[in-house]
Structure 1
Amino acid sequence: MEPPFDTFTWPAARTFGDHGLIVDPDPAAGPLRVMLKSFGHLHEPIYTGRTAAADHRHLVLDVRALFADPYLKPEMREMTGRDDAVRANVLAQPGAVAYVIAHAEAIAATVAPAKPGLVDASVGCAGGRHRSVVIAEALSLVLAHGYGIAAEIHHRDIHRPVVRR
């Protein structure tokens, strides 16, 4: 499958709220079937006393050890995965596009058996502002344009201050 993000812009995407994105597949695709969340492992879980994985139902992807962190580049530190330079940086890394395509296929395979019919998948990185945002949005594009599956994204930590480490 040829990924739909060769220019690092997101076709057929629209924002909602301050920290969300919806990628629209073909209008005939039907109702929303996938909820993608990006988050940072260095932030507290949403619910006190629970692990980050407990906040997500079907699939949790951890990209911390897979792809170099744009945070390490001073010029990208204050940016987010919504910035073209960060998108380009993450998706140009070896294996990034293949990772997105493979995991989109896994998510698509989970849609049919999911109860109550909505797949809940999350992508975590260190701070939740760079890699997880890019990978979650790229997954939504592949799901929409490769499988006709509507996805909504919520970036849990994109609005938080950069975690200094």
Structure 2
Amino acid sequence: MIEIISFGFGHAPAPPAETVVDLRRHFRDPHIDPALRELTGLDDEVRAKVIRTPGIPPLIDVLAGTVNAFLVGSAVIPTRVAVGCTGGRHRSVVVAVEVARRVRKDRGVDIRVRHRDIDQPVLPRGGSQ
């Protein structure tokens, strides 16, 4: 079983995982746009913004490849991939959902996606970006 968890470093440390991806410093935060701040990565506007961010599509490709490699190694051993951003509401949610979608399409397997911090309060700017 594969589980992909989105989370926010600003709320708690990364959950235990075979792979942890930190999106904070390398990819622009949709939080800076007041129209997107209260939305989440499950909203179309946020998803579109994150997907258009340079570097995100190839990162999704690489992470999907990583998950596929874990499945080839042993599909019966539980494997967890954690994708984090500052608040766990925007970037990490989109990337987690898109990686799961890609692996489901490639391999036809069930992938569990959990958004640990999506319902947490929006963090102020300048925290642990």
CA distance in 2, matches of 1:83, 1:140: 17
TM-score of the pair, normalised by structure 1: 0.71
Alignment gaps of 5+ in structure 1? 1-32, 46-51
- Which of 77, 86, 90 is residue 130 of structure 1 equivalent to? 90
- Which of 11, 15, 23 is residue 63 of structure 1 equivalent to? 23
Structure 1 residue aligned with 2:4: 36
RCO (CA 8 Å, sep 6+): is it higher in 1 or 2?
2
CA distance in 1, matches of 2:72, 2:62: 17
Alignment gaps of 5+ in structure 2? none
Which protein is bigger by CA-based radius of gyration? 1
RMSD between aligned residues: 1.5
* Deviation digits for residues 71-126 of structure 1 (CA, Å, limit 9, x no counterpart): 00010000000100000000011121111011110111012335861211110000
TM-score of the pair, normalised by structure 2: 0.90
CA distance in 2, matches of 1:111, 1:90: 27
Q: Give the 5 Å matches for 1:110-149.
A: 110-114=70-74, 117-149=77-109
- Which of 151, 161, 164 is residue 111 of structure 2 equivalent to? 151
- Aligned residue for 2:113, secondary structure, equals strand
Conservation of the 8 A alpha-carbon contact between 1:111 and 1:118: no
Q: CA deviation at 1:148?
A: 2.1
Aligned length: 125
What percentage of aligned pairs have identical amino acids?
38
